Amino acid sequence: PLATTGELIAAARQNNRAVAAFNVITLEHAEAIATGAEQAGADAILQISENAVKFHGGSLTAIAAAAKAVAGTSRARLSLHLDHVVSEDLLKRAHAEGFSSVMFDASKMTYAENVKATAEAVRWGHERGIWVEAELGKVGGKEGEPPLDAHAPGVRTDPDEARAYVEATGVDALAVAVGSSHAMTERTAALDHELIAALQRAVPVPLVLHGSSGVPDAEIREAVRSGMLKINVGTALNTAFTGAVRAFLEAHPSAVDPRKYLVPAREAMAGTVAHFLRQLEG
Ligand code: G3H
Ligand code: ZN
């Protein structure tokens, strides 16, 4: 059934575990996330990013409706989250399109600008019952971004700044830069677990790990034990999807019906979803 992100986060917190949010690009992604969550017996968040909206010609409506329909008919509890929102126009559509949460991404702004823009987004969201996540520090690695030096000042999230930021903005959850990076196709990221523990002590709201595709299972489990509550996974689904399509087309070079290769692609993504969900018990 369709749940709200706030409900799923509260349940994860109560059960000392984390909830995963998976990026939805196509209908098959949403179906695979539902299947994987059912297989693992876990909740999950269906997240649609601003970049995915751009892929759908700038329209949120169709892909949001698809994700919502999948959630409504699933045995797993699934919520809808709008991810990495930079555009205020898109932010303002979240409520009407059925999203219970958004991640407002002002991470490219200066600290002062980030605080101001995020506080406004939070005020707007809370008036409509929307749960708002924001990022402090720079996870980096998103499409079109230059590679980051993960050790440069201002890249990793500072615990004192995080405390002040959460107080000043009123965010419901904080995405932190602790060693992961977006769009990794190998699981080689090393997390700073001392920093995660320090951030967990510094801020009262749940912490969010972005770029989890590149983080090894053992590191994810340790991060959950240190208090990471929302684990965002995108690229790993695409790696599974594309690998399955490539293998099928290599073995069947004359295939033309997309259903023939989307079935293994969807199964591969569901397997990846279930695998990640099984790491979140802390
Ligand atoms: O917000 C989305 C996530 O941070 C996904 O990152 O594609 O590197 O797993 P990823
Ligand atoms: Zn992210």
Q: How far apart are CA 169 and CA 163, in angstroms?
A: 10
Residue 151 in this model has a pLDDT that exceeds 60 = no
pLDDT in tens, 220-232: 999 999 999 999 9
pLDDT given at position 143 = 75
Closest ligand relative to 83 C-alpha: 1
Residue 114 in this model has a pLDDT that exceeds 80 = yes
Residue 152 in this model has a pLDDT that exceeds 90 = no
Residue 141 in this model has a pLDDT that exceeds 90 = no
Contacts of 161 (CB under 8 A, 6+ apart): 111, 136
Q: Which atom of ligand 1 is nearest to the CA of 182?
A: 8
pLDDT given at position 282 = 72
Closest ligand relative to 181 C-alpha: 1
Phi, psi for 254 (deg, rounded to 5) = -100, 5
Q: Which atom of ligand 1 is nearest to the CA of 183?
A: 8
pLDDT given at position 144 = 72
pLDDT given at position 138 = 86
> Which amino acid, residue 277?
L
Predicted complex ipTM: 0.99
Contact indicator for 215, 276 with CB cutoff of 8 Å: no
Contact indicator for 17, 280 with CB cutoff of 8 Å: yes
pLDDT in tens, 115-128: 999 999 999 999 99
Q: What does the pLDDT average to over 54-58?
A: 97
Could you say which of 83, 105, 158, 172 is catalytic? Answer: 83
Strands (E), the chain: 19-23, 44-49, 78-85, 101-104, 131-136, 173-176, 207-209, 228-233
Residue 197 in this model has a pLDDT that exceeds 80 = yes
Q: How far apart are CA 16 and CA 203, in angstroms?
A: 17
State yes or no: is 83 an active-site residue: yes
pLDDT in tens, 69-112: 999 999 999 999 999 999 999 999 999 999 999 999 999 999 99
Domain 5-277: CATH class, spelled out:
alpha beta
Q: What does the pLDDT average to over 48-63?
A: 98
Contact indicator for 159, 128 with CB cutoff of 8 Å: no
* Pocket lined around ligand 1, Cβ cut-off 6 Å: 23, 83-84, 182-184, 210-214, 232-236
pLDDT given at position 213 = 98
Indicate the helix (H) or strand (E) that contains 37.
helix 27-40
pLDDT given at position 262 = 98
pLDDT given at position 16 = 95
Residue 162 in this model has a pLDDT that exceeds 60 = yes
Helix (H, G, I), strand (E, B) or coil at 22: strand
Surrounding ion ligand 2 within 5 Å at CB are 210
| pTM to 2 decimal places | 0.97
pLDDT given at position 231 = 98
pLDDT given at position 149 = 64
SS (H, E, C) 66-107: HHHHHHHHCCCCEEEEEEEECCHHHHHHCCCCCCCEEEECCC
Q: Probe ligand 1: pick from 210, 230, 273, max atoms within 8 Å of CB?
A: 210
What does the mean pLDDT of the chain come to?
96
Residue 153 in this model has a pLDDT that exceeds 60 = no
Closest ligand relative to 24 C-alpha: 1
pLDDT given at position 121 = 98
Atom 2, ligand 1: which residue's CA is nearest? 232
